[in-house]
Each structure stands twice: as C-alpha cells, then as structure tokens.
C-alpha cells in the first residue's frame, strides 16, 4: 500500500491492486496547490469546502459521504463511522465521519475533522490501526495533546499528522505540527517523507510518527 499526503486532510491511498482512494479533497480556497488526482473512490468526511472537493478529482470516482459499511473491491472494506466536529455534540460545526479502511491485512484510519474525544463505541470500532491519520492543529479540530491521547487510546502503530498550519494557510487560527512533534522522542519521528509504503510484513519497521514533506 502506498500513501501520499496531498495537503491539509487530503490523502491518496493506492492499494496493490491499483485502487486509488482519495480522502477529503480540498478546493483552491484553502491556499494549497491543487493536484488533479485520478481517483476510483472519494471519501468525504463532511461537506466543508476544505474536505469535499470531489469535483476536482478525475475519473468519476465513487463517492462515500455517509456512515455505513462498504465493499470497495474484493478484499477491500471500508467502515465510515459518524462522529462530532466539535465538543458540543456537533452543535457548533456539525458532524464528521471517521474512516476505517481494511486492505492487505492493514487497518488504516482517517479521523476526518474530529473535534473532541472519541466515544468509547467509536474507539472500539477504530482500535489498533496500523496507520492513523489524525488532525493536530486545534481550533477546528482536536489539538496536539488531544491527538496524542487519541492515538494512544486507539493503540495506533504509525501516526500521520494532518490538518495543521503551513505556509499555505498561515492565516488560519490553527497550530503547526511542532506542538504535536514535541510530544514524541526525536527518534520516533521520520520527517520530509514523499510517500509512505507500508505492508503487513514491515509494520514493525515503520516510525511512530511519519511527517510528509510540505
């Protein structure tokens, strides 16, 4: 499995079979460069402009934006779990989906715009991910400390931080990834990655935190 962080909360996951899954595509207003990605499946955690720009994807992908269980392809399963975008039961910013992708013997979790602690029920459904994509910037989502707590709650093997301030969204009221990275030993962090390649057999060789190059 190959994983690329396109920017913000957008990731491209490509399976060994060639299935291309894009999660939370953003639009031009986010400030990030927009890459025209070919996609077979688009996962949309919620309908905010920085997470649902499916129209910018190529290939007429199947779009999943509702909670439920889905078969994307033989042996590739997706569970979309409803959660909260804020700490007031969704009253401030609405709901979000958390995605669990099961493929190639791996569990890959993307938490969308999680804005509070996971419920025990959701934590049970999402537990033990080999890869965890978690927001760390705060304000709109959980912050660095809450992200680490969530990763520990889920027993995540490798963490991919997302939804933080960069040079592209420097005026947003969120934090950069530094606060999150400071919570880990330097030896646990791999920085400036281009693509994360992970298989069931090499999971123990992966870093605790993998930071993609901006």
CB 115 within 8 A of CB 93: yes
Q: Is 96 exposed, middle or buried (0-12, 13-18, 19+ CB in 10 A)?
A: buried
Widest pairwise Cα distance in the chain: 43
Entry pTM = 0.94
Q: Looking at residue 87, what is its pLDDT?
A: 62
CB 213 within 8 A of CB 193: yes
Cβ atoms < 10 Å from Cβ of 185: 8
Helix (H, G, I), strand (E, B) or coil at 204: helix
Closest CA to 8 of 114, 117, 130, 112: 112
Q: Looking at residue 92, what is its pLDDT?
A: 60
Per-residue model confidence as pLDDT tens digits over 156-179: 999 999 999 999 999 999 999 999
Cβ atoms < 10 Å from Cβ of 60: 10
Q: Looking at residue 214, what is its pLDDT?
A: 83
2-212 CATH, one of 3.30.470.20, 1.10.10.10, 3.60.15.10, 3.40.190.10: 3.60.15.10
Q: Looking at residue 4, what is its pLDDT?
A: 98
Residues of the chain with pLDDT under 70: 85-94
């Amino acid at each position: 499995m190959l994983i690329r962080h396109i920017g913000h909360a957008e990731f491209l996951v490509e399976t060994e079979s060639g299935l291309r899954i894009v999660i939370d595509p953003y639009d031009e207003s986010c400030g990030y460069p927009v890459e025209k990605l070919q996609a077979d499946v688009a996962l949309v955690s919620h309908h905010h402009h920085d997470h649902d720009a499916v129209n910018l994807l190529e290939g007429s992908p199947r779009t999943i934006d509702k909670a439920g269980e889905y078969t994307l392809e033989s042996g590739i399963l997706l569970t979309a779990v409803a959660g909260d975008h804020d700490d007031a039961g969704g009253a401030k910013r609405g709901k979000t989906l958390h995605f669990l992708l099961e493929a190639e013997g791996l569990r890959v979790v993307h938490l969308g715009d999680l804005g509070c602690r996971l419920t025990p029920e959701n934590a049970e459904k999402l537990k033990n991910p080999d890869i965890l994509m978690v927001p760390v910037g705060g304000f709109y989502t959980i912050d660095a400390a809450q992200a680490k707590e969530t990763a520990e709650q889920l027993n995540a093997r490798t963490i991919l931080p997302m939804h933080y301030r960069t040079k592209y969204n420097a005026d947003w009221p969120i934090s950069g990834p530094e606060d999150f990275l400071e919570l880990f030993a330097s030896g646990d962090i791999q920085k400036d990655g281009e693509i994360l390649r992970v298989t069931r057999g090499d999971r123990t060789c992966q870093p605790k935190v993998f930071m993609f190059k901006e």
